[in-house]
């Protein structure tokens, strides 16, 4: 590189850019919301309105798709506070829409604004503001009508207040926003999806009237349910249930030693003989399309109750092993959980990962299901028969697959600790870095469906290794034999009938060496087993870097909180400070590697399907050609110059763990 070239690529103090205010959202909108269309940023506003209903201060929500392209959301709640914040010295309504971490949902102490809400992320409507060309907020509160206007995230008309034309008792908030189309793949909000969302809100909030107006079509829909979940589910089902649905609820009362008062769930489950299943779950009225620990609690409670019923009545045939999936194969359900401090996976809140939620929901579902079964003996026997037949069909299918695998002459690697279950829709293989971590994984795993293959040292860089000599490396050989699939190219049609595991999970330390091993394994699968990536069988486990021990406080038991990285640790500590946990009582530990974790810690953070963070590996939006070009730059032996140039150009976009 010439001196002129070096000067053109100087890396100095001026190269560092600090993003302020709402700039991070505008730079990387996909980190904060879904960018298919503006629905999710409107949902953030709707969620604020539903939180007012959930808190018992509102019973009306109106949403309008206006002819000018804007969307309005109005509620008759308390109204966003308009006074000056005691510390920030700015109107609270302004802070809510312009600061990423400002909101009433952080105030969880007794007498706080919200006991139950849709999460603690605190970036909701500020993201709506950042990704809109204009936002107008009107608040009716304290006998005043107050208005503030934003454009592109900035205040253009400061807060002004006049005497309200409404009676003083008629309070509320109206937010009207114009989403900025440049941030979304499509500028149009899907009307049917929004209508379904609003209808479900009405179902989950008995007595609340929800209306939806489409101005261009001059159409207004209104929903108000007094009794809710059962009626809603039956409307969704394509056919009638085989027997009456199982509907119940359970909530913790004051003085409960395990859960906070008000925590619990309401649910309805129906079984049909045919047709698609309808399943929806919510946490504090927030839709969780990817489910999570609350759904697992519902399934566990129903499964354990039915298993007890089957054992009591001697219904289980010899040799049949029932699984949760067998009970829910033909089940549809609506679940609405109420959790005091919900933790979600990602800002878009698609999946609940709160560990206690599974125990919470299961604790209320199981006794209610046992009561239902013993009150409906004939229906219980029909359900048991349905689940048993599902288990028998699954086991027969597994036997057929096993016979095909029996023709293989390959001998499984001696260091492979296999699982008991052969069902690839359920079982998992963890490729673990080193014997130490492998030992913890073997002790901490669920041996029914989780297998462990420890790898010694770094796997060979196989980007430029010919397929015919690939097995010269023992680690690569053992991986291929363990998974039961031969190496192949992107154009080949490989035989996947011998695949032994539905999920093949790369599990490496959360440090630089671990990242290197992870990249080498991803290179192996992308270059020599591309069909496994294409069909969704390759995953990357994300173990945490930090453990935060929080002591027992009052009714709240001692807690362990795991943090993925420095950013998550900072957020956790800030939250604990807001919860008034004494700082000197908090203990922070950093894991040097997976081998340092006990089997219990490894299970909780990296192995347990309900609480781990497991990322599916997919070819990104750039497409296979660009991905292959990039991989070649990063992994090819003779591309060192290209790698250096790439690092100089793009290295500042990534965080380095030193």
Q: How far apart are CA 501 and CA 483, in angstroms?
A: 6
Q: How far apart are CA 522 and CA 533, in angstroms?
A: 9
CA end-to-end span of the chain: 28
Q: Are strands 587-590 and 546-550 parallel, antiparallel or unpaired?
A: antiparallel
Instruction: Report the alpha-carbon distance of residue 388 to residue 330 in Å, rounded.
Output: 12
Task: Give the number of residues written for the chain.
Answer: 658
**Residue 240 designated active-site:** no
Give the single-character DSSP code of 86. Answer: T
Provide the token pair at 338: 């109420």
Q: Does the annotation mark 433 as catalytic? A: yes
* 86 contacts: CB under 8 Å, gap ≥ 6: none
CB 246 within 8 A of CB 382: no
Distances (CA, A) of 315 to 194, 320, 330, 429: 45, 11, 19, 34
Which residues make beta-bridge pairs with 434?
Answer: none
- By the 10 Å C-beta count (0-12 exposed, 13-18 middle, 19+ buried), 381 is classed as middle
Report how far residue 91's alpha carbon sits from residue 98's, in angstroms, rounded to the nearest whole number: 11
Which tokens hold the place of 96?
């809510």
Q: Is 452 helix (H, G, I), strand (E, B) or coil?
A: strand
CA gap 396, 417 in Å, rounded: 24
633 closest CA partner among 653, 649, 611, 617:
649
CB 431 within 8 A of CB 507: yes
Tokens 């790439």 correspond to: 646
Instruction: Give the Cα-Cα-Cα angle 345, 350, 355 (nearest 5 degrees).
Output: 45
* φ, ψ dihedrals at 160, nearest 5°: -130, 145
Which residues make Cβ contacts (< 8 Å) with residue 172, sequence separation at least 6? 58, 74, 75, 76, 77, 79, 139, 140
Pair type for strands 538-541 and 503-507:
parallel
CA distance 294 to 345: 13
- Which of the following is catalytic: 433, 475, 486, 610? 433
Neighbour tally for 414: CB within 10 Å: 7
* Distance, CA of 227 to CA of 217 (rounded, Å): 30
Single out the catalytic residue among 191, 513, 565, 568. Answer: 513
In the block, residue with structure tokens 């009545």: 313
Triad 446, 590, 608: Cα angle to 5°: 15
Q: In 3-state terms, the chain is what percent helix, strand and coil (to 5)?
A: 40, 20, 40
Of these residues, 44, 74, 428, 509, which one is catalytic? 509
Residues 128 and 134: their CA atoms lie apart, in Å, by 10
Element containing residue 71 per DSSP (H, E) = strand 71-75
Candidates 341, 511, 579, 639; catalytic one = 511
CA distance 428 to 496: 16
Tell me if residue 466 is catalytic: no
d(C-alpha 558, C-alpha 548), whole Å: 11
Active site residue 421: no
Q: Is 344 helix (H, G, I), strand (E, B) or coil?
A: strand
- The alpha helices in 205-256, defined as continuous H runs, are 229-236
Q: Which residues are marked as active site?
A: 433, 509, 511, 513
């Amino acid at each position: 590189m010439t001196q002129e070239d070096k000067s053109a690529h100087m890396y100095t103090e001026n190269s560092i850019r600090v993003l302020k205010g709402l700039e991070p959202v505008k730079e990387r909108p996909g980190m904060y919301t879904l960018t298919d269309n503006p629905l999710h940023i409107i949902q953030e506003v709707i969620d604020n309105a539903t939180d007012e209903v959930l808190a018992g201060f509102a019973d009306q929500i109106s949403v309008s798709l206006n002819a000018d392209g804007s969307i309005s959301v109005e509620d008759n709640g308390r109204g966003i506070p308009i006074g000056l914040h005691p510390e920030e010295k700015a109107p609270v309504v302004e802070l809510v829409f312009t600061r990423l971490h400002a909101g009433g949902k952080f105030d969880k102490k007794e007498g706080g604004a919200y006991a139950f809400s849709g999460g603690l992320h605190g970036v909701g409507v500020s993201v709506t503001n950042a990704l809109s060309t204009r936002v107008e907020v009107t608040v009716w509160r304290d006998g005043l009508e107050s208005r503030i206007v934003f454009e592109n995230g900035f205040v253009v008309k400061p807060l002004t207040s006049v005497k309200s034309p409404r009676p003083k008792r008629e309070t509320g908030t109206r937010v009207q926003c114009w989403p900025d189309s440049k941030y979304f793949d499509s500028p149009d909000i899907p009307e049917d999806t929004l209508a379904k969302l609003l209808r479900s809100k009405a179902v989950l909030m008995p007595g609340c009237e929800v209306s939806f107006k489409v101005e261009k079509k001059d159409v207004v829909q209104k929903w108000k349910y007094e009794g809710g979940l059962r009626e809603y589910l039956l409307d969704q089902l394509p056919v009638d249930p085989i027997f009456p649905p199982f509907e119940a609820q359970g909530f913790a009362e004051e003085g409960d030693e395990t859960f906070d008062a008000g925590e619990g769930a309401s649910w309805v489950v129906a079984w049909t003989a045919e047709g698609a299943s309808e399943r929806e779950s919510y946490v504090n009225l927030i839709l969780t399309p990817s489910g999570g620990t609350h759904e697992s609690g519902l399934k566990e409670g129903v499964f354990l109750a039915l298993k007890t019923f089957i054992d009591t009545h001697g219904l289980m045939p010899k040799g049949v092993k029932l699984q949760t999936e067998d009970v829910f194969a033909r089940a549809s359900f609506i679940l609405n959980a109420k959790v005091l401090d919900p933790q979600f996976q990602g800002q878009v809140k698609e999946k609940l990962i709160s560990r206690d939620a599974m125990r919470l929901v299961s604790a209320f579902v199981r006794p209610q299901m046992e009561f239902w079964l013993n009150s409906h003996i004939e229906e219980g026997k029909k359900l048991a028969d349905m689940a048993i037949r599902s288990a028998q069909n699954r086991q027969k299918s597994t036997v057929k697959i096993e016979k095909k695998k029996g023709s293989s002459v390959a001998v499984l690697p001696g260091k492979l600790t296999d699982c008991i279950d052969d069902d690839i829709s359920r079982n998992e293989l963890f490729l673990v870095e080193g014997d130490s971590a492998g030992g913890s994984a073997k002790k901490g795993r669920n041996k029914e469906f989780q297998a462990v293959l420890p790898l010694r040292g770094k796997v060979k860089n196989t980007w430029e290794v010919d397929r015919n000599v690939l097995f010269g490396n023992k680690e690569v050989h053992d991986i291929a034999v363990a998974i039961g699939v031969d190496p192949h190219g992107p154009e080949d049609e490989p035989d996947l009938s011998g695949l032994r595991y539905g999920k093949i999970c790369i599990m490496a330390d959360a440090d630089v060496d671990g990242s290197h091993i992870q990249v080498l394994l991803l290179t192996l699968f992308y270059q020599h087993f591309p069909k496994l990536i294409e069909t969704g069988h390759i995953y990357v486990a994300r173990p945490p870097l930090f453990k935060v021990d929080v002591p027992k406080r009052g009714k709240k038991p001692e807690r362990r909180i795991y943090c993925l990285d420095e950013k998550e640790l900072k957020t956790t500590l800030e939250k604990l400070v807001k919860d008034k946990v004494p700082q000197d009582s908090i203990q922070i530990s950093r894991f040097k590697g997976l081998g340092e974790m006990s089997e219990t810690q490894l299970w909780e953070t990296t192995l347990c399907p309900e609480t781990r963070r497991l990322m599916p590996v997919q070819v990104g939006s750039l497409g296979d050609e660009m991905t292959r070009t990039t991989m070649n730059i990063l992994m090819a032996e003779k591309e060192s110059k290209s790698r250096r140039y790439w690092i100089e150009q793009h290295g500042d976009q990534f965080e380095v763990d030193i």
